[in-house]
Amino acid sequence: MTEEKTQSLAEMIDRILIFIARPEVETQLIVLGLVVILSILLSSYTWKLICECLKPVLRNTQHMPYIHSYLHKVIYLFKALTFPILALLLNMVAQSILEAQGNMVGLLAEIQYSFYTLIAFELVMAVFYANFEAHEVSRYRRRFHIPLLILIVLFQLINQFVDIHLLAAIVVFHYVDNPITFGALAIATLGLYFWTYTINVIYTFLLNFLVKFTNTDKGATQATLTLIRYLLFALGLYYIFSQLQLNSTTLAAITAGLSIGVGFALREILSNFISGILLLMERSLHPQDIIEVDGTMAVVQSLKIRATTVRTIYDEELVIPNQKFLTESFKTYTGSDKKVRITVFIKTSYDNNPHRVIELMKDTAIAHPSILSDPAPEVFIQDQFSDNSVTFKLLMGIDKPMNKERVKSEVIQNIWHAFRSNNIDLTYPGMEVSIKDSVDQKPFYQSSVEHRQSSVYGIPRSSLSQ
């Protein structure tokens, strides 16, 4: 650091210390600490008593899931609001007491807005808990909600001591003769972090809202929101670079470094990222699609920056690089619609009436609830006759490809029962064995009988008779 920057930081720190050392400020800070501690203790004790009173109510509503869940959400809302409301009320009481004694309350009045902010945040979290899964909301609360709240409160506190704009203008270091200020550094780190999580929160909220309250397709909605998320992230990066105010020399140095990095280490990652964007724009693959991966059917769970996550019919989760879908062919069952045809082969005896067999197979397929009427089931006789059977091919349409194996098995079972009820014979593999006796050798069965008669447990009968 240069001497000028050291003096600027030193002056700002000295100003903060001088401000805190003032007696009226010390008094307000002590009062604020007491307000916070007392609010925590009161809220904890209050909810301990309330929980004891609510236990019988929650126990009696366990057989009513909707009411039980609703009560839990209401309890969470009031529990979350207890501390900030108590702190706000106690802060107001403390201000009144200090004013009555002729003391200054400017700091406590400004801190009061922090409690309003906390109440607003808890109301937002209550809305999230009412609409999202609890584990998702808990994750966002830990990684986004609480850090953002702490950051806002810190900014409000710091702004009481120094001008936040002056603090942001302090030059931290130089990069290729380009000054990097404290504000630009905060935006490039904390700003990028919170912007990324804000995009994720908006994405999750809109996806759940649109799927729950509209008739839009989940896969198409997820694909569109993913593209919007990538666009917003790119806009955030553009804003960060604009705040850093990098000159042409700095940009050239960064571009050269990135070119080398992308050319070697990041080539595959960049290729997978571009492949994911192209897949979403072409709509050749998007979430909730049903595809075939290495001969196994799977559902696309998510399409992310680097890879696509799919879940197979065996409940296995696979992570596949996006580039594979762009450079290799793959089978999709939901390209234009979700209708697929499944095939069943049945072999019957030549003694059966083929028209009756076709009729029974069609009727059995139509009776199954998962078989579509459009396209209607069709039965064909194979173009080749085997030695002892006639092969019939049944084609059926379904609109849930992941249920293909289950539906196919159920239809085969129903055909078997229908054939048994109507005396339709299925074929069995036939085999004809011919045993030819030689002139000088006894038949095999006769030699075997004589051998068994000549011994008992491997001991010759002549030895037994002796």
pLDDT band (50, 70, 90) for residue 6: very low
Residue in 431, 419, 433, 432 with CA at minimum distance from that of residue 351: 419
Map out the domains of the chain as residue ranges. Answer: 1-168, 270-332, 340-421
Tokens found for residue 341 = 């045809």
Burial of 369 per CB tally in 10 Å (0-12, 13-18, 19+) = exposed
How far is 150 from 273, CA to CA, in rounded Å? 34
Q: Which amino acid is at 109?
A: A
Backbone angles phi, psi at 104, to 5 degrees: -80, 145
Section 48-61 average pLDDT: 77
User: Residue 124: which of 81, 90, 186, 75 has the closest Cα?
Assistant: 81
Give the tens place of pLDDT for each residue, 310-348.
888 888 888 888 888 877 888 888 777 778 888 999 888
Structural fold of domain 340-421:
Alpha-Beta Plaits (3.30.70)
The rounded radius of gyration (Å) of the Cα atoms in the chain is 39
Give how far Cα 353 sits from Cα of 217, 258, 349, 359, 382, Å.
46, 75, 9, 10, 15
Q: Is the pTM of this model over 0.75?
A: no
For residues 318 and 336, what is the distance between their CA atoms, to the nearest angstrom? 24
Residue 220: partners with Cβ closer than 8 Å, 6 or more residues away: 283, 286
**Residue 282 pLDDT greater than 80, yes or no:** no
Tell me the one-letter amino acid at 253. Answer: A
Alpha-helical (H) ranges within 187-306 are 192-213, 218-244, 248-264, 267-282
| CA–CA dist 146, 372 (Å, integer) | 51
Give which of 299, 296, 297, 273 is closest to 286, Cα–Cα. Answer: 299
* CA atoms of 125 and 63, how far apart (whole Å): 27
Give CA torsion, residues 381, 386, 387, 388, to 10 deg.
Answer: -40
- Of 1.10.3720.10, 3.50.30.60, 2.30.30.90, 2.30.30.60, the CATH number of 270-332 is 2.30.30.60
Say how far apart CA 233 and CA 196 lie, in whole Å: 7
> Looking at residue 416, what is its pLDDT?
92
CA-to-CA distance for 318 and 302, rounded, in angstroms? 11
- The b-or-e profile of 156-188 (16+ CB within 10 A means b, else e) is eeeebbeeeeebeeebbeeeeebebbebbbbbb
Rounded Cα–Cα distance for residues 313 and 398 (Å): 16
Backbone angles phi, psi at 185, to 5 degrees: -65, -40
Return the percentage of the chain with pLDDT > 70, whole number: 81
Kind plus residue range of the DSSP H or E element containing 173 = strand 171-175
The strand pair at 171-175 and 317-321 is best described as unpaired
Mean pLDDT (the chain) is: 77
* Cβ(422)–Cβ(360) below 8 Å: yes
Q: Is 183 in contact with 168 (CB distance < 8 Å)? A: yes
Q: Does the pLDDT at position 246 exceed 70?
A: no
Higher pLDDT, 267 or 371: 371
The stretch 25-50 carries a mean pLDDT of 86
Q: Using the 8-state DSSP alphabet, how is residue 392 labeled?
A: E
What are the backbone dihedrals phi and psi of residue 302, each rounded to the nearest 5 degrees, phi first?
-155, 150
Checking if the pLDDT of 412 tops 90, the result is yes
Number of other CB atoms surrounding residue 451 within 10 Å: 9
As a whole number of Å, the end-to-end CA separation of the chain is 118
Alpha helices by DSSP H, listed for 22-64, are 23-60
Q: What is the pLDDT of residue 182?
A: 78
How far is the C-alpha of 339 from the C-alpha of 330, rounded, in Å? 17
Q: Is the pLDDT of residue 43 over 70?
A: yes
61-99 pLDDT, tens digit each: 777 777 777 777 777 777 778 888 888 889 888 888 888
- DSSP result, 323-389: HHHHHS--EES-SS-S-EEEEEEEEE-TTS-HHHHHHHHHHHHHHSTTS-SSSPPEEEE-SS--SS-
